[in-house]
Amino acid sequence: AATFMEHWKRKQMRLNYRWDLTGFEEEEDHPRAEYEAKVLEKSLRREHKHKETDKEKLTWKDRFPAYLTNFVGIIFMVGLTFAIVFGVIIYRISTAAALAISSTPSGRSSVRVTVTATAVIINLVVIIILDEVYGCIARWLTQIEVPKTDKNFEERLIFKAFLLQFVNAYTPIFYVAFFKGRFVGRPGDYVYIFHSFRMEECAPGGCLMELCIQLSIIMLGKQLIQNNLFEIGIPKMKKFIRYMKLKRRRSLDHEEHMKKKQRYEVDYNLEPFAGLTPEYMEMIIQFGFVTLFVASFPLAPLFALLNNIIEIRLDAKKFVTELRRPVAVRAKDIGIWYNILRGIGKLAVIINAFVISFTSDFIPRLVYLYMYSENGTMHGFVNHTLSSFNVSDFQAGTAPNDPMDLGYEVQICRYKDYREPPWSENKYDISKDFWAVLAARLAFVIVFQNLVMFMSDFVDWIIPDIPKDISQQIHKEKVLMVEVFMREEQGKLQMLETWKDKDNKKGENCNNHSPRLSRSHSGSLSSCHSYPLDV
């Protein structure tokens, strides 16, 4: 991510030089019409009350209802996303329970695969629908704020839309990565939802594989459906609807319909250009998929590359054939998007550190290898991660119905956790091994985070923001400009000296022809000689 950001800064500098934007400074935008209307309305109210005509502007008190609406609306939508994720969790738990008591052996054997695949597809459909809803709500929330300039409007809209889509896209993945299987309890003391369903657990090998499946399906499905099919299908559908409406109107006027149309009349049927925010948002969310959880899905960059190769051609077709020609606007850089990219790059370091240390078995394996292994190998690791449970300690109604299901009576069961055995004084309490592994995990997070941050800053420092050939060319142009300026100044100086010499000669001629005048009026003559110098 750090290397990509540095590469983009260099690419941006090349584009600035190529498009003659190196010295471009963005001028202050004119106030938006909505802002001017609000200010005029406020000034009319105040003039009516106090007879004042001073220039008014909107203060935080005027915008407080809009700010409160924004805060409540964003909190509600984030809560709605969490509620939907919780609903999918309930679906997973209830479906797993229903399949577990299925009468068919195939249904019982494929419980985990069936539940995971269907839940991920539900999450994908919900994410795609909520993305469109949240985009409209973010625009409405920004409009009621009444930002002063178009730039402020765009930045606030981008921030709200990104915040909502970020929460919407990554909440199911965060649940699988950091929360699933953490609050299940233990045999004899399980955690139940609605006093009926046990919290779902990870597979015996951990949640990393399920995280990989969830991330791959959501990323690929979102790219295929939302980024590719929607990008071509929706503009074509809108274009067709607009064409049918125009066809109905023109059927009344046959002569007008048969007349050959100009190019601008044909282009009027195309979809209006709505800005680059959706295009940037796709790339930002994809950048998050590539960087935030790359430790669990290393193929994410490859799929992102393949998607972008297709995306470039689809965008080219869309911009050339499906949209009206956009109005070109000069800009110094990509604006707030660069700050969002930097923020995701920093967040990716922390998230990957927690994925490696808490979601995978990387740290427990290292702890066992260097602290508990007798012969320096991983032999006995699985046994070390399992705790013992006496079946006589089951709560009433939670024990297996048939104790002889395996053909013999079971006294001791094993489960994955670091707890004291039933024959210990503090049975089923968290053991010292748990605290040793937790300390190692937290230490790894701190070391990993600081090391990668240092490497990122080192990459940032060692790679110059401006390419060497561009900096040399800019320096050369500055030198040439200074030389041109110096030549102009020298030309002006020579012209002044020429005028000075001419005036001196005129003064000498004056002295030769009227000596009395020079003796009687020496003061005025000296002032005459000083006149060209003053000029």
Beta bridge partners of 197: 193
Query: According to DSSP H, which parts of 268-376 are helical?
Result: 277-292, 300-317, 336-354, 362-367
pLDDT at 136 (0 to 100)? 92
Q: Measure the CA–CA gap between 499 and 493, rounded to whole angstroms.
A: 10
pTM tops 0.75:
yes
- Residue 524: C-alpha distances to residues 256, 510, 528, 529 (Å): 86, 13, 6, 9
Q: Which residue has the tokens 């995990």?
A: 441
Is 194 inside a domain boundary? Answer: yes
- What is the rounded (10 degree) CA torsion for 194, 198, 199, 201? -170
Q: Would you state the pLDDT for residue 525? A: 42
Quote the pLDDT of residue 498. Answer: 86
User: Are 267 and 240 a contacting pair, CB within 8 Å?
Assistant: no
Tell whether 115 is covered by a domain: yes
Give pLDDT, residue 251: 62
415: enclosing H helix or E strand: strand 412-416
Domain that holds residue 50: 27-202
Please tell me the distance from the alpha carbon of residue 145 to that of residue 143, in angstroms, as a whole number.
5
Q: With respect to residue 328, please indicate whether it lies within any of the assigned structural domains.
A: no
Confidence at residue 513, expressed as pLDDT on a 0 to 100 scale: 58
According to the model, what pLDDT value does residue 344 have?
A: 93
DSSP for residue 369: I
Distances (CA, A) of 291 to 147, 209, 280, 298, 378: 33, 17, 16, 10, 31
Domain-located, residue 284: no
DSSP state of 206: B
Q: How many domains does the structure of the chain reveal? A: 1
What span, in angstroms and rounded, lies between the C-alpha atoms of 6 and 462? Answer: 10
* Helix, coil or strand: residue 386: strand
In a domain, 86, yes or no: yes
Look at residue 51 in the predicted model and tell me its pLDDT: 53
224, part of any domain: no
- Is 87 part of a structural domain of the chain? yes
Alpha-carbon distance of 38 to 36, in angstroms, equals 5
- Residue 209 placed within a domain: no
Q: 10 Å Cβ neighbour count for 52?
A: 10
Tell me, letter by letter, the H, E, C secondary structure of 158-196.
HHHHHHHHHHHHHHHHHHHHHHCCCCCEECCEECEECCC
For the chain, list residues with pLDDT below 70.
28, 48-55, 103, 106-109, 250-259, 509-535
